[in-house]
Amino acid sequence: MVMVTKVPARPRSGRPRRAARLLLAAGLTTASLTALPAATATAAPAAAAEDGKSGGTTLTVAVSQSIDSLSPFLAQKLTSTSIHRLAYEYLTNYDPKDARTVPAFATEWSSSADKLTWTYRIREDSTWSDGKPATAEDAAWTFNKMMTDPNAATANGSFTANFAEVTAPDARTLVIRLKKPQATMTALDVPIVPKHVWEKVGDFSKFNNDRQFPIVGNGPFVITDFKVDQYIKLKPNKTFWRGAPKFDELVFKYYKDGDAAVAALQKGEVSFVPNLTPAQAAALKTQKDIKVNDAPGRRFYALATNPGARAKDGRTFGNGHPALLDPAVRKALFLAVDRATLVDKVFQGHAVEGEGYLPPRFGSYFWKPEGAQRRGYDPAAAAKTLDDAGYRKNGDGKRLGKDGRPLNFRILCHATDPNDKAVGKYLQEWWGELGIGLTVECLDSVSDPWVKGDYDLAFDGWSVNPDPDYVLSIHTCGTLPATPKDTGATDNFICDEEFDSLYARQAVEYDTAKRADLVKRMQSRLYDTGYMNVMAYPNALEAYRTDRIASITTMPEAAGNLWGQDGYWSWWSAVPAASAAGSGDGSGSSAAGVAIGVGAAVVVVAGGLLLLRTRRRATADDRE
Q: Counting Cβ atoms within 10 Å, is residue 72 exposed (0-12), middle (13-18) or buried (19+)?
A: buried
H or E stretch at 605: strand 602-605
Q: What is the pLDDT of residues 155-174, one digit of tens each?
A: 999 899 999 999 999 999 99
Pair 542, 292: CB distance under 8 Å: yes
Q: How far apart are CA 291 and CA 571, in angstroms?
A: 16
- List all residues 6 or more positions away from 485 whose beta carbon is below 8 Å from its beta carbon: none
Q: What is the pLDDT of residues 584-617, one digit of tens each?
A: 333 333 233 333 333 333 333 333 323 222 222 2
Q: What is the CATH number of domain 299-538?
A: 3.10.105.10
Find, among 506, 442, 439, the residue nearest to 473 by Cα. 506
Which pLDDT score, from 0 to 100, does residue 436 have?
Answer: 98
What angle separates helix 497-507 from helix 512-529, to the nearest 10 degrees? 160
Which pLDDT score, from 0 to 100, does residue 51 have?
Answer: 42
Q: How far apart are CA 2 and CA 76, in angstroms?
A: 9
Which pLDDT score, from 0 to 100, does residue 115 have?
Answer: 95
Q: Counting Cβ atoms within 10 Å, is residue 317 exposed (0-12), middle (13-18) or buried (19+)?
A: middle
Helices (H), 127-189: 136-148, 157-160
Q: What is the pLDDT of residues 249-259, one digit of tens each?
A: 999 999 988 99
Identify the bridge partners of residue 304 per DSSP, sorted by sequence position. Answer: 458, 532
Which pLDDT score, from 0 to 100, does residue 618 have?
Answer: 30
Q: How far apart are CA 573 and CA 479, in angstroms?
A: 36
Which pLDDT score, from 0 to 100, does residue 582 have?
Answer: 38
Q: How far apart are CA 253 and CA 62, in angstroms?
A: 5
Which pLDDT score, from 0 to 100, does residue 89 have?
Answer: 98
* pTM of the full structure: 0.77
Which pLDDT score, from 0 to 100, does residue 465 have?
Answer: 83
HEC-encoded secondary structure of 281-330: HHHHCCCCCEEEEEECCCECEEEEECCCCECCCCCECCCCCHHHHCHHHH
3-state secondary structure of 191: coil
- List all residues 6 or more positions away from 537 whose beta carbon is below 8 Å from its beta carbon: 296, 297, 299, 300, 301, 351, 352, 353, 354, 359, 360, 361
Find, among 377, 390, 365, 386, the residue nearest to 436 by Cα. 386
Backbone φ, ψ for residue 93 (5° rounding): -130, -175
Which pLDDT score, from 0 to 100, does residue 55 have?
Answer: 52
Q: How far apart are CA 327 and CA 531, in angstroms?
A: 9
Q: Residue ranges of the chain with pLDDT lower than 50? A: 1-54, 579-624
Please name the fold of domain 56-296+540-576. Answer: D-Maltodextrin-Binding Protein; domain 2 (3.40.190)
Identify the bridge partners of residue 544 per DSSP, sorted by sequence position. Answer: 272, 291
Q: How far apart are CA 61 and CA 59, in angstroms?
A: 7
H or E stretch at 457: strand 457-460
Please report, as a single letter, which amino acid is at residue 609. L
| Per-position DSSP letters for 167-215, written without gaps between them | EEEETTEEEEEESS--TTTT--------HHHHTT---TTT--S-SSSSP
Name the residue ranges covered by the structural domains of the chain. 2-48+584-621, 56-296+540-576, 299-538
